[in-house]
Chain A
Amino acid sequence: MQKRKTFPKGGVHPPEHKLSADRPIEVLSLPSRVVVPVVQHLGAPAEPVVQRGDEVKVGQLLARGNGFVTAHVHSPVSGKVFRIDKRFDASGYKRTSVIIDVEGDDWLPEIDRSEEVVREITATREEIIDRIREAGIVGMGGATFPTHVKLNVPRGKKAEILIINGVECEPYLTADHRLMLERPAELIVGTRILMKALGVEHAVIGIESNKPDAIDLLTQMVSEEKGITVQPLKVKYPQGGEKQLIKAITGREVPSGGLPVDVGAVVHNVGTTVAAYEAVQKNKPLIERVVTVTGVSLQRPSNFLVRIGTPVSALIEAAGGLPDDTGKVVLGGPMMGKAVSKLDIPVTKGTSGVLIIPDEEAHRRPVQPCIRCARCVSVCPMGLEPYLLMDLGVRQMFERARDERVMDCIECGSCSYICPADRPLLDYIRLDKLRVSEMIRQAKQAVK
């Protein structure tokens, strides 16, 4: 194996618990009803283009994203629109959603549903970006930033390298791992498509060394591919963070407040890359995704291919049902995922996992005084001082927090994870960030 790389500063290594790593992706049966929110991405909400009572097919446009930073939403099922109403999603707020009663599984005819891998890329650069936007593709690692925006390199900047993020550094999650093992050919064609869209000659697939089978398989498969390499990485959280991954692979640091393309890099997640393949080669919009359902108390930790809009409860049922001692359910991984209060909320484009946490581990331990052990400073991958930022938050000294670069925080949670006194460091840092971004907004308005 090649020498393993990693980012130099900070990071933690929580227990990995990749319980479902050996479980092949199973297709989850269709639910009787789906709830499809019109905001499943970062950016402006999409506007519904269907009405109550409309018959829809799989892949049909449900809501149009008007503007640049937004994404279309398509119907994941066929059936009848029951109503368009506000429903809870993972955020804990009610969002406008298209609710569809499922009838059959009738796909739009232009979608190629065959298993065959289409390798030849006939679409031009503009057509690729256009199809990706039309397919409503967003970053599927969890950030849900619209993919076509990332492919439009701002004028005056040049992309030099495409990085495919197969790191999956969050404990428990295995969706990307399984995708790399089971759909490597599609992943590689997808990588070529994104390379063409960006006009770059090189792509690197970054994978942590706790997935040796994926590293071996892809290394072997790209040996014939010009310009694509696989880079093994040491296991360290948050290596899947965009800035950390770029640093690990290229040695370059994205400047504070800047974009990855400022150092010539563009990063896309493996799930996004496969979705891009399907959009461009198969004409298929983003209507389903792989979700890891996991937890130490769960009967059958699994990886499911799930239609968007399926209730989380259906996934848990399929994995053996909610254990009696469950105290917390998290969408995403344990480090950055969101705890939810209800289980009838839908799977969305950014749902990478459903993590069941037993009651005894679901609660925070009591906060103790800071002993100034400096571990939070050591583990911060952004070179910040979490103890200080928390202190400034407590004292409401937000200008000083801004000067101490609080906006650089990527909210990876390494500081709160490591703190021996169980202090809520990241919570106060989030408060700092909220107040500082208000300050920045007000300052901008004052200038206008």
Chain B
Amino acid sequence: MDKLLTVSMSPHVHDRDNTSRLMYGVVIALLPAWAASVWFFGWEALYVPLLSVFFAVLFEYLIARYLLKRTPSVRDGSAVVTGLLLAFTLPVSIPLWMLAVGVLVAIGVGKMSFGGLGTNPFNPALVGRVFLFISFPVQMTSWPLPKGFATADAVTGATPLGILKEGLRQGEPLSRMADQMPPNLDMFMGHMPGSLGEVAAVALLLGFLYLLWKKIITWHIPVTIFVTVFLFSGLLWLIDPAHNATPWFHLLSGGLMLGAIFMATDYVTSPMTHRGMVWYGIGIGLLTVIIRRWGAYPEGVQFAILIMNAFVPLINLYVKPKRFGEVKKNG
């Protein structure tokens, strides 16, 4: 035998999945929501996310190449996902320079400053969004009404959560706001003002099914968030229906679907065990309802996820998988 054989330790076979396949799987899962967004908000909803992805990939490449001085790994697709998700959380009328600033913060501060993929404690897209939200509150809360492809000037209006918060602030009971609220079916389909990619619950749920089917994520985080929000808001509603929205309203409004399915499940910033994921999901659900009901802002999902991101290392430290053959102490 004059040929040399390769010697390495087992295993000698490997699953076909790799990082970029998983990332592009997430992109595919976002396509229904993107399509719905274009349907409701027109062509802007097509090019704003495209531009956001372009900025994300460009900034990550430049930062890796010239600041960190290492081989850029933009092909893994994680910058594409961050760019897309950030755009999905913005009003479609966002000025493009503002979009660029948001992406720079998301990629530069949220991800690359910690060392790039896998090392950032907070969801980069949400870091970008919260930065924009706090820096440019006017533009970030000006929500165009769905107009489809009509060329007329965009009319803005309040989101359902905005109507709720404003009404409650003025001490009005819920019944007075009812005529301003879109019906549940419209909220489910996405016919309401809101962020570019968050409105169409049905499209986001379709993406959720795809992620589950392809085993890209497990059910634990999204389902725990849904159940927690439903039970907690339902409890408040039962106690005082005049000042609390129905649990259905909470599930379908704002960024809950987008956040629970696509943001909270970000691999890097979520827990490593299924049990940990359940605790994390419960935390996000509780914080979301608390912020919506008693906080200063109408919407709480973004802060709830970022706050729970901070707890992930602690969850990983204390919530361990069930060990096989664990010997019970004092048993």
Contact = CB atoms under 8 A, between A and B. Distances in A.
B322 A383 contact: yes
Contacts of B78: 371
B44 interface: no
A243 B325 contact: yes
A49 to B, nearest CB: 33
A420 B15 CA distance: 8
Interface in B105-123: 116-119
A328 B21 CA distance: 27
Contacts of B185: none
B321 interface: yes
Given A326-B5, A340-B7, A256 B323 contact: yes
A377 B273 contact: yes
Contacts of B1: 313, 322, 342-344
A365 B76 CA distance: 14
Given A343-B1, A420-B18, A383 B9 contact: no
A407 to B, nearest CB: 12
A384 B321 CA distance: 7
A65 interface: no
Nearest to B17: A420
A327 B325 contact: no
A413 interface: yes
Interface string B309-320: 000000010001
A388 B267 CA distance: 15
A427 interface: yes
Interface in A1-57: 9, 12, 14-15
A365 B9 contact: no
Contacts of B117: 369, 371
Contact of A9 (B15, B116, B320, B322): B322
A132 interface: no
Interface residues of A, number: 71
By secondary structure, the B interface counts as loop
B19 A255 contact: no
Nearest to A414: B11
A344 B21 CA distance: 41
A130 interface: no
A12 B15 CA distance: 9
Contacts of B270: 372, 374
Contacts of A15: 13
B321 A417 contact: no
Contacts of A340: 5, 7
B114 to A, nearest CB: 11
A377 B272 contact: yes
A9 B268 CA distance: 23
A14 B13 contact: yes
Interface in A229-268: 243, 247, 253-258
A184 interface: no
A387 interface: yes
A378 interface: yes
A337 B324 contact: no
Indicate the size class of the contact surface on chain B: 35 or more
Nearest to B21: A420
A422 B22 CA distance: 13
A417 B323 contact: no
A4 B320 CA distance: 29
A338 interface: yes
Interface string B5-46: 111111111110111011000000000000000000000000
Interface in B65-104: 73, 76, 78
A169 B247 CA distance: 47
A117 interface: no
A118 to B, nearest CB: 39
A365 B14 contact: yes
20 contacts: A9-B324, A171-B13, A247-B324, A256-B326, A327-B5, A336-B11, A342-B1, A359-B6, A362-B12, A369-B118, A370-B118, A371-B19, A372-B267, A373-B22, A378-B274, A383-B322, A383-B324, A413-B10, A419-B15, A420-B18
Given A365-B18, A377-B321, A380-B321, 5 more contacts: A9-B322, A15-B13, A327-B6, A371-B268, A374-B267
- The 9 closest A-B CB pairs, nearest first, are A413-B11, A369-B118, A383-B323, A334-B13, A373-B267, A382-B324, A362-B6, A256-B325, A383-B321
